[in-house]
Amino acid sequence: MSTPATSTATLEDTRDPAQDTQTSERRPLLPAVMHSELAKLRSVRSTIWSLVATFGITVGFGALFSWAYINRYNDQSLRERLTFDPTAHSLRGLFLAQLAIGVLGVLVITSEYATGLIRTTLTATPQRRAVLAAKTVTFGAVALVVSMISAFVAFLVGQTILNGKNLGVTLSDPHVLRAVLGAGAYLTIVGLLGLAIGTILRRTAGAITTLFGLVLVFPLLAQALPSPWNHDISKYLPSQLGEAMFGVRPDTNLLSPGTAFFVAVIWLVAAYLIATILITRRDA
């Protein structure tokens, strides 16, 4: 009669080694890859500087524009005063901050191609779509937190300044909270768009140039077109979508906030669809 210890040893000896492999393969892949991507994101010095720049530009320029407005308030026409949007004005820094977070999104992927680290990453995790998904979720979460904090702080600082002329609004006023949330969402979308463009082009300079062209140059080119083409085209471009998302007062030249958010998501989905196809078909 065998002892319990002998029985246990016998069972361990007769267990199929393939079962261990199958158990290992069934372990969640995405969380492990996300942990690795978070470690890489924290270890890069440009990450901290880009996030600090995003916050500083959003808050700093929003405060500057608000201060400049109240100092020139007495010189404003009646029409300018009636159409003034305190919420959007305090968030004007987003048009520069989007470049900082967009460049960081580009660097999340192109820095690995530049150093050759991408080969190590894809060797350790051959499932390339999982790598892209992990980068997207990890960077997207960080970008969302920083963007939302930046938007809310910029709004509060701007309204404090505007209250010097009793022009400030609060988050409880109609559509204001939606606009501030829209500002944070827009910054996050631009950051993720940078990551997708970086995945498609794989070169830092080319990806940053493309991103700058998309958010800065294309709107200027669209505005140079004859009416009504200028408005019909420009309102579907990312920067005008952002303006619609964090504006409170209606603008006939822009889409509604909900439609603008939907179109921005379409931009993002289209970019990631191309990025996913290319990262799975091209060599590292």
The confidence score (pLDDT) of residue 124 equals 85
Residues 6 or more apart whose Cβ sits within 8 Å of residue 66: 89, 90, 157, 158, 159, 161, 162
The confidence score (pLDDT) of residue 284 equals 65
Taking only the tens place, the pLDDT of each residue in 86-128 is 999 999 999 999 999 999 999 999 999 998 888 888 888 888 9
Query: Residue 15 pLDDT more than 70?
Result: no
For helices 128-162 and 45-71, angle between their N-to-C axes, nearest 10 degrees: 30
- For residue 250, how far is the Cα from the chain centroid? 25
The confidence score (pLDDT) of residue 8 equals 39
Residue 168 Cα distances to 77, 87, 131, 200, 250, angstroms:
19, 8, 45, 43, 18
User: If pLDDT is split at 50, 70 and 90, which confidence band does 12 have?
Assistant: very low
Q: Is 72 helix (H, G, I), strand (E, B) or coil?
A: coil
Taking only the tens place, the pLDDT of each residue in 25-70 is 444 677 888 888 888 888 777 888 999 999 999 999 999 999 999 9
Mean pLDDT of 140-153: 97
Query: Residue 24 pLDDT more than 60?
Result: no
Taking only the tens place, the pLDDT of each residue in 210-259 is 999 999 999 999 988 998 888 899 999 999 999 999 999 888 889 999 99
Q: Is the dihedral of CA 208, 209, 213, 217 positive or negative?
A: positive
Cis peptide before 238 (omega within 30 of 0): no
